[in-house]
Structure 1
Amino acid sequence: MDRTTLRVDHLWRDGAWQRDVRIGVEETGALGAPDEHTEQHLGWVLPGMPNLHSHAFQRAMAGLAERRGPGDDSFWTWREAMYAFASRIGPDALKAIAAQLYVEMLKAGYTHVCEFHYLHQQPDGRPYADAAAMSRALIAAADEAGIGMTLLPVLYLSGGFDGRPLSERQRRFGLRVDAYLQLIETLRREENPMLRVGAALHSLRAVPEAALREVLAAEPLKQGPIHIHIAEQIGEVQDCLAVRNARPVQWLLDHAAVDARWCLVHATHLDRSEIARLAASGAVAGLCPTTEANLGDGLFPLAEYLDAGGRLGIGSDSHISVSPKEDLRWLEYGQRLRDRHRNIAARRRGASVGETLWQAATAGGAQAADMPLGACAEGRRADLLVLDDDAPQLAARDAASMLDSFLFAGNAPLVRDVMVGGVWVVRDFRHRDEARIAARYRGTVETLRATA
């Protein structure tokens, strides 16, 4: 890749639009100082959005769990449908599904994905000949699509807070602690400027206390990001209280050195003490509003958390929707519906909701990914979004209204071009390889449905 300089009319940097900026893109794919090299002229440019929570395989089942069952449906009934779907997916299918998903992410404005990955074994629980086969399928899909990845292999040991063994459908998720740590060490040898390997604990119900202590003390987890599902459903909170005599976030903060390396995914159900303690820890709350809405999880206490100085990012999770605009919009809209007020995320007079949320989510997403992302600054990876300033939805908009209009003025595609690591992967709304990737995906899901 040759070094180049970009001349930008409006660049989102340091929480504001800056005019007439020249930025350099180094051969390494990082942003640097401009020089005399060939310039490209761009209009309105944003930093790419990190997607801090993804289960790639679930994209292929989006829309297939929307018929009512015999009783009241919930996260737990949806989970059974998800388990049945996951049981049919092997490495080739996973790569095809993930590559299609990652193309959709890029076109929507996500330039990096944190993949919370727990499909480790074969569907019957037996290991693959290559213990990292499913992980490598995801890495290959990200490389093919051109998106950055933080791969988060998941530790999943038990089926509930009471320590029950994994069910038949959960067996492919399970790894012993020693095998899990070996998987992380193996994958870390493949790290590069587009790939980071961290760790994930599925949830407190899936990782018993003794195993939690053991894995957190192990050498591979002394560096890199750590993610965990937590306090997503009321039932989880009730079970934790019954077995561990504490709420999930309270228990975790009491028993682990939670700090800026951690991302607490969902953290939907918090009391006031947990809000304050989570914010003070420096960890990121990983919010997935469209998935949380689809599953009926509940609403995160956004205003209180922001007032406490909390950090947040967004993820598309089950990929019922793949759009940072929509997830940020519904993060705000859920609060409006609950509180019957407007402009909740803007915590001071004159503040913009769109600017507040985009700035918070890019910063929090970069922290959760543990990568130099989320800002148009020297030394950060050159992940850029070029908005379509010819779009009617953005007509007559200026710096004071551009980000709010981008997020709240409908659903038309407004990201025209996408650069990741200094490489243009989307130009004029088209991904560089989307036709071939989409054709393979269609064949894959047709086969999966035929074998259901």
Structure 2
Amino acid sequence: MPDFRPQLQSNHSLYASQALLPDGWARNVRIEIDASGRIGAVTPDVAPDGAEIAAGPVLPAMPNLHSHAFQRAMSGLAEVSGAGSDSFWTWREEMYRTVGQITPEDAEAIATRLYVDLLKAGFGSIAEFHYLHHDKDGALFADRAEMAKRILAAARTSGIGMTLLPVFYAHANFGGVAPHEGQRRFIHDIDGFQRLMAELAPACAAQGATLGYAFHSLRAATPEEMNTLMASLLKTGPLHIHIAEQQKEVDDSLAWSGKRPMQWLFDHMPVDERWCLIHATHADPSELQRMAASGAIAGLCPATEANLGDGIFDAVAYRAQSGRFGIGTDSHVSPSVVDELRTLEYSQRLRDEKRNRLANGPHRSVGRDIYDAALAGGAQALGQPIGAIAPGKLASLVVLDGDDAFMDSAKDDAIVDRWLFALGDRTVRDVMVEGQWRIRNGRHDQDDIINAAFKTAIRNLARH
């Protein structure tokens, strides 16, 4: 796919009749953006003075803290019942079938189209939890970082902000069980993973992407491997891990160690603010308390968790302890800010048979409170200066459609509530990432080329 690397523009400014600032909604706001894509100044209650006028309310773009881009290609293909009881573990077989066919060209095309769709839904940046490393037979590519560089290329073409998280994946289950054939494209040893990280550091730096890393799960990395890599790799920046997503994982962890996975992690690893614990669905009350106290982020992916039948994370209890969270679209069954936040809130309502579960107190807007929390948690999990319209932050912004009748009449927190609980993705009009417009009036300027490449990739996969 051609490289549409944008050119940085000169200093410019955007004017919003309503904008969501860190201390709340403000009127008639002028946002100054410098040539590096950062916000230089934010001034409410002023005239436009030649600034570009936004076509509706302006909010910080949402960070997406968990993505497996290649899984977008299989969306809708695992919705046929099997001979027995379907679960995450039966879904995983369809995932292995899909992953066994993807070429580097396919991976780039799928990720590029996905990232554009995410931009159109109001995300401005993404953490790619990247474990599709090797060729179809499990062999290294001539460039061991080939697949990761395809992800970087997709981010560059789409314009989405990128945190790349190469994933260490070595085993099939707790205790160092040997991987099976379906996992051959994921597997690294310590030395190979260190080499991959060393090669990706300059590639990420050249693109302005953030580099972190991840352990796939406690099933896929032994304690010794985790300790070795933490001692030898980046000492700062994001560190992510899947944990306690399914009850079977909890049962297997108890059989292996006598401890639940979250309990084992907190007892043996230095979990702090750089960690993002993906899913944490089956965390018990003591584990929720430890996670909240650690400052780590709960990486919630409610649409995927619902699709897979994982269970419901107790966000009410976690938030009551000031626990931090962000949202991700994971398998991308629905690449949407609205679907993730709406599903999160609705899951709590269905479980508790009550309404407005994640508001921070009486007379609070649910939409505003969960949007603010997901902005802050996502920015922390991605390790980027994003998530707020404030000086020094990257200018990653969403403009909602001011011509929509609901938006035209909405003020302050009702803007977020209307968007999340009544309108949906079609309300997103324009999206700016790091000072550059990526979506204008619902379109990306390379839509036709990106869509054609994606269509070719999906056709290639359908032939197998």
The bucket for the TM-score relative to the shorter chain is over 0.9
- Kindly provide the amino acid, as one letter, of the partner of residue 62 in structure 1: S
What residue number does 2:155 align with? 142
AA matched with 2:53: H
CA distance in 1 between partners of 2:284 and 2:200 (Å): 37
Post-superposition offset of 1:440: 1.0
* Correspondence 1:97 to 2:110: yes
Q: Which residue of 1 aligns with 2:6?
A: none
Pairing partner for 2:18 from 10, 14, 22:
10
8 Å contact from structure 2 (residues 38, 391) kept in 1: yes
Aligned pair 1:41/2:53, yes or no? yes
In structure 1, the partner of 2:37 is 29
Match of 2:290 among 247, 257, 277: 277
Q: Distance in 2 between matches of 1:64 and 1:15?
A: 44
Deviation at 1:2?
Answer: 1.2
Shift of 1:29: 0.6
SS of the aligned residue for 1:191 comes to helix
Query: Which amino acid in 1 is paired with 2:251?
Result: Q
Structure 2, gaps ≥5 residues long: 1-8
Distance in 2, matches of 1:178 and 1:126, equals: 15
Aligned pairs for 1:7-406 within 5 A: 7-33=15-41, 38-42=50-54, 43-192=56-205, 194-218=208-232, 220-406=233-419
**Distance in 2 (alpha carbons) for counterparts of 1:328 and 1:65:** 23
> How far off is 1:37 after superposition?
7.9
TM-aligned CA deviation for residue 309 of structure 1? 0.8
Q: Deviation at 1:38?
A: 4.2
Aligned residue type for 1:437: I
The CA distance in 2 between the partners of 1:15 and 1:113, in whole Å, is: 25
The more displaced of 184-193 and 74-83 is 184-193
Aligned residues: 450
What is the CA–CA distance in structure 2 between the aligned matches of 1:360 and 1:417, rounded to whole Å? 22
Determine the structure 1 residue equivalent to 2:420.
Answer: 407
Spell out, residue by residue over 1:326-379, the C-alpha distance to the aligned partner (whole angstroms, 9 max, x if none): 100000000000000000001310111000111000110000000111111111
Between the aligned partners of 1:104 and 1:2, the Cα distance in structure 2 is 27
Deviation per residue, 1:7-54 (Å, 9 max, x gap)? 221111115211111110100011112699841112310000000000
- Give the 3-state SS of the residue equivalent to 1:274 in structure 2: helix
**How far off its partner does 1:410 sit?**
3.5
- Code of the residue aligned with 1:50 in structure 2: it is P
Q: 2:42–2:391: 8 Å Cα contact kept in structure 1?
A: no
| Distance in 1, Cα, partners of 2:271 & 2:261 | 13
The 2-side partners of 1:273 and 1:186 are apart by 40
Contact 2:201 2:211 in 1 (8 A): yes
CA distance in 2, matches of 1:314, 1:103: 18
SS at match of 2:114: helix
Aligned equivalents of 2:142 and 2:437: distance in 1?
36
Measure the CA separation in 1 of the matches of 2:272 and 2:57: 35
Tell whether the 8 Å contact from 2:42 to 2:389 is kept in structure 1 after alignment: no
Which residue does the alignment assign to 1:438? Answer: 451
Q: Which stretch has the larger CA shift, 29-38 or 122-131?
A: 29-38
- Give ranges in structure 1 of 5+ residues lacking alignment: none
CA RMSD of aligned residues (A): 1.3
